[in-house]
Amino acid sequence: MENKVLIIYTGGTIGMVQDEGGSLHPFALDRIYDAVPQLKHCSYGIDSVTLDHIIDSSNMTPSLWVDIASIIEREYDRYDGFVVLHGTDTMAYTASALSFMFKNLAKPIVLTGSQLPLGMLRSDGRENIICALEIASARMAAIPEVCIFFESHLYRGNRSTKISAENFDAFESFNYPSLAKAGISLSFRNHLFLPKPTEPLTVRKRFDTRVAILKLFPGIGPEVVGALLSTPGLQGVVIETYGSGNAPTDPWFISALEEAISRGIIILNVTQCKAGAVKMRQYEASCDMDRIGVVGAGDITLEAAITKLMYLLGNFPGDREHIRQRLGQSLRGEISL
Ligand code: ASP
């Protein structure tokens, strides 16, 4: 029986056209087949679904993550793999969110998009979509992960970051090697894949969006930090610190964090550096945060950190200790241990 892949089209530059004023906006999926006629001749079956509203991915929301996940869950047994066509701007967030939602995933979910619309002569979309489909349909290598394929590389989704608004090479995975490379042939690095699951798939679909990101900079003051931490209903904060997880040691700063933690707010320490990890207590400048209960997030990306926090708060509400423990552990290969 031939392999089958389901394309889920969400929008993004890959499927955009220019209006008379020159701005880009999304168009319907059937035009993608006109732009990539090779898709009609591949050796596997392709079906497609389009989200109710196709979007620029700047409009992505957790409820659309749930819609995408629900389509995959509903069709899981009928397809060998899934390709999600998605705008690049928030692709790393969606890939991270999906990775947490699917526990014991046994089939590939490959997100891809492009920097230039498919309809343009020099578009990078054709290669990206064809390679993503080849990977999603490859039963031999069935990668049990949510991934991003972009410009010759397959990355673990929750390790990826958009690094360029200009180059075709728009994504990078700084803390984990790419899972496959597309040259003359597709070379898979099977030893880097997550292990095949032995338990059945479970899909958890709740996200708690009562979270915030606090990015440090020299000169940040008590008013800004206080205003953010006193946001009504706030449940969790990702704090983007310096280097290996360092922050000011000023008493006002540590007290503000401590007071928030005493109100049950979870604070997760992520580094502003693209590569490398938070190592609590490596410098004196992280000892106080460790003492008051800030959680170190290792070498996680910001995109994976904020989606992991929303996912854990949404699915294990009220169990602060469980959430704190899970934040320090790898759920889907998002941190190195
Ligand atoms: N703004 C677009 C989006 O994320 C950019 C892209 O697709 O590359 O939908």
The closest residue, in CA terms, to atom 8 on ligand 1 is 88
Q: What is the pLDDT of residue 25?
A: 67
Average pLDDT of the residues of the chain: 93
158 three-class SS? helix
pTM of the model: 0.95
Please work out whether the CB of residue 26 comes within 6 Å of at least one atom of ligand 1. Answer: no
Q: Strand pairing partners for 147?
A: 110, 156
Q: Is the CB of 123 under 6 A from ligand 1?
A: no
Residue 37 has a pLDDT of: 85
Res 112: pLDDT: 97
Is 10 marked active-site? no
Residues in the chain: 337
What is the pLDDT at residue 196?
95
Helix (H, G, I), strand (E, B) or coil at 229: helix
* Integer CA distances (angstroms), 31 to 26, 27, 35, 119, 130, in order: 11, 8, 6, 9, 15
Give the mean pLDDT of 3-8. Answer: 95
**Among 10, 13, 50, 90, which one carries the catalytic annotation?**
13
State the Cα–Cα distance between residues 173 and 154, nearest whole angstrom: 10
pLDDT at 73 over 70: yes
The domain limits of the chain are 4-203, 211-327
CATH fold match for the domains 4-203 and 211-327: yes
Average pLDDT over residues 162-187: 94
Residues forming beta bridges with residue 232, ordered by sequence position: none
Domain range 211-327, its CATH number among 3.40.50.2300, 1.10.730.10, 3.40.50.40, 3.40.640.10: 3.40.50.40
Give the model's pLDDT for residue 130: 93
Residue 148: other Cβ atoms inside 10 A: 33
For residue 266, the CA-to-ligand 1 centroid distance in Å is: 31
Name residue 58's amino acid.
Answer: S
Residue having the nearest C-alpha atom to atom 1 of ligand 1 = 56
**CATH number 3.40.250.10 is the correct assignment for the domain at 4-203:** no
Give pLDDT, residue 1.
73
CA quadruple 259, 260, 261, 264: dihedral sign: positive
One-letter amino acid of 35:
A
Q: Which of 88, 90, 111, 150 to mutate to test the pocket of ligand 1 (most atoms within 8 A of CB)?
A: 88
Which has more confidence, 105 or 121?
105
Q: For 20-52, what is each residue's pLDDT tens digit?
A: 777 766 667 776 677 788 888 888 999 999 999
What is the model's pLDDT at position 51? 93
